[in-house]
């Protein structure tokens, strides 16, 4: 059976409030996320001006909170205002690589629809933000539409060109996996185009995914046939939190 979705916590100590609530009041937005805390449930806590941060702070009410400072990317739930940057990142890979089998960049409306659809299914869509800029994103989407697949998702993770190879992918994917353990999901699938470079396979393997198959020459893009590698990881609430 699936577990219930995490419950929203109230503003605690009167000092912190959930990031999305701050954003609704018009004081959130990307820049202010620099002074924010991200907890393992996927909740981002906004620290209002005048409160501690970006220096490391401890939240007495929530000792599990990890501290995020202005010098490292913040991982937080995606908001509609992030989607232009998300689209720009993905467009690069659509146009210039065979990592994705999309050939036409999805329009902005498709990203807004995806954000809404995932939220409706209580599936996480996270972004990595650095100095007010969205530098990567990851989400978990249904693996297949047929209902018996409802506890299985496929993850997508893309970093902005120039932000790869520095460990951010690991941080972002781990955050996504952690957020997924708080949902009804039980299995995560990664379907990775075999492009001849190993970063994605290495990343997934380092976070517990195992190889479960290969589909030969199922893609044709930019004048070449491409295999896909299938990887899988159980989502175990006892070891992932």
Ligand X SMILES: CC(C)(COP(=O)(O)OP(=O)(O)OC[C@H]1O[C@@H](n2cnc3c(N)ncnc32)[C@H](O)[C@@H]1OP(=O)(O)O)[C@@H](O)C(=O)NCCC(=O)NCCS
Footprint of ligand X on this chain (CB under 6 A)? 93, 99, 157-159, 164-170, 190, 192, 197-200, 202-203, 206
Q: What does DSSP say about strands 44-46 and 133-142: parallel, antiparallel, or unpaired?
A: unpaired
φ/ψ of residue 172, rounded to 5: -70, -45
For residues 233 and 204, is the Cβ–Cβ distance under 8 A? yes
Q: How many C-beta atoms lie closer than 10 Å to residue 8's C-beta?
A: 10
Nearer CB in complex with ligand X: 118/231: 231
Which tokens hold the place of 57? 């702070």
In whole angstroms, the minimum distance from the beta carbon of 78 to ligand X comes to: 16
Nearer CB in complex with ligand X: 130/200: 200
Nearest to 181 by CA among 137, 123, 115: 123
In whole angstroms, the minimum distance from the beta carbon of 238 to ligand X comes to: 22
Helix (H/G/I), strand (E/B), else coil: 80: helix
Nearer CB in complex with ligand X: 3/224: 224
Radius of gyration of the chain (CA): 18
Nearest to 171 by CA among 213, 128, 229: 128
In whole angstroms, the minimum distance from the beta carbon of 138 to ligand X comes to: 8
For residues 241 and 41, is the Cβ–Cβ distance under 8 A? no
Nearer CB in complex with ligand X: 81/202: 202
Tell me which residue has its CB nearest to ligand X.
Answer: 169
* CA separation for the pair 58, 66 (Å, rounded): 8
Nearer CB in complex with ligand X: 123/231: 231
In whole angstroms, the minimum distance from the beta carbon of 101 to ligand X comes to: 11
- DSSP secondary structure string, 90-102? HHHHHHH-SSS--
Q: Is the dihedral of CA 57, 182, 170, 139 positive or negative?
A: negative
In whole angstroms, the minimum distance from the beta carbon of 172 to ligand X comes to: 7
Nearer CB in complex with ligand X: 35/178: 178
In whole angstroms, the minimum distance from the beta carbon of 216 to ligand X comes to: 17
């Amino acid at each position: 059976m699936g577990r219930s979705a995490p419950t929203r916590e109230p503003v605690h100590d009167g000092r912190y409030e959930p990031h999305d609530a701050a954003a609704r009041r018009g004081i959130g937005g990307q820049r202010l996320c620099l002074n924010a805390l991200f907890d393992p449930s996927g909740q981002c806590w906004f620290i209002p001006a005048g409160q501690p941060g970006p220096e490391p702070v401890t939240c007495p009410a929530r000792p599990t909170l990890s501290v995020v400072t202005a010098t490292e990317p913040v991982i937080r739930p995606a908001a509609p205002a992030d989607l232009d940057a998300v689209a720009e990142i993905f467009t690069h890979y659509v146009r210039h690589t065979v990592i994705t089998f999309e050939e036409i960049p999805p329009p902005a409306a498709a990203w807004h629809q995806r954000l809404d659809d995932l939220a409706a299914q209580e599936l996480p869509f996270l972004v990595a933000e650095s100095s007010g800029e969205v530098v990567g994103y990851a989400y978990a989407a249904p693996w297949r539409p047929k209902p018996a697949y409802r506890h299985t998702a496929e993850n997508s993770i893309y970093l902005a060109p120039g932000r790869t190879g520095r460990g951010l992918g690991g941080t972002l994917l781990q955050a996504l996996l952690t957020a997924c353990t708080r949902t009804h999901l039980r299995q995560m699938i990664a379907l990775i185009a075999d492009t001849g470079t190993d970063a994605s396979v290495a990343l997934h393997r380092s976070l517990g995914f195992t190889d479960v198959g290969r589909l030969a020459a199922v893609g044709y893009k930019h004048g070449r046939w491409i295999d896909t590698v299938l990887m899988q990881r159980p989502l175990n609430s006892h070891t992932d939190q």
